[in-house]
């Protein structure tokens, strides 16, 4: 995966402005972005899935930022937001398409 493609994907994620969509639930966000993320996995991940891991870490950063804005107890606590997101990822592994990819990588 080229640097240009990585930047393009990150720009697309930035344009979604998910951190501002606090009116939406996590399920609604997943419904909205999963088709696009699956397309990236199918296209870019056909030969080198590991090239997508940094990109999807960026998506997790965006989701943690969304959580810290939506939930008062996570506000101002970046680590707590990441732990909350990790807990959700463990309970609902199939919620986001990129979480399924990382679970396959871990052999679970």
In a domain, 20, yes or no: no
Rounded percentage of the chain residues whose pLDDT exceeds 70: 94
Most distant CA atoms of the chain, gap in Å: 41
Q: Which pLDDT band, with edges at 50, 70 and 90, does 95 fall under?
A: very high
Predicted model pTM: 0.86
Distance separating alpha carbons of residues 6 and 32, to the nearest angstrom: 20
**DSSP one-letter code for 84:** H
Tokens for 82, please give them. 């990441």
Q: How many independent structural domains does the chain possess?
A: 1
Average pLDDT (37-45) is 91
In a domain, 48, yes or no: yes
In a domain, 23, yes or no: no
In a domain, 22, yes or no: no
In a domain, 17, yes or no: no
In a domain, 56, yes or no: yes
What is the extent of the structural domain holding 35?
30-106
Closest residue by Cα to residue 102 from 79, 78, 81, 86:
86
Structural Rg of the chain based on CA atoms:
14
In a domain, 100, yes or no: yes
In a domain, 18, yes or no: no
């Amino acid at each position: 995966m080229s640097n240009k493609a990585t930047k393009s994907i990150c720009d697309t994620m930035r344009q979604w402005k998910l951190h501002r969509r606090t009116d939406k639930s996590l399920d609604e966000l997943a419904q909205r972005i999963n088709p696009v993320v699956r397309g990236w996995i199918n296209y870019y991940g056909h030969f080198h899935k590991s090239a997508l891991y940094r990109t999807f870490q960026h998506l997790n950063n965006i989701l943690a930022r969304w959580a810290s804005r939506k939930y008062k107890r996570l506000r101002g606590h970046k680590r707590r937001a990441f732990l909350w997101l990790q807990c959700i990822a463990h309970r609902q592994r199939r919620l986001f398409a990129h979480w399924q990819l990382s679970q396959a990588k871990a052999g679970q």
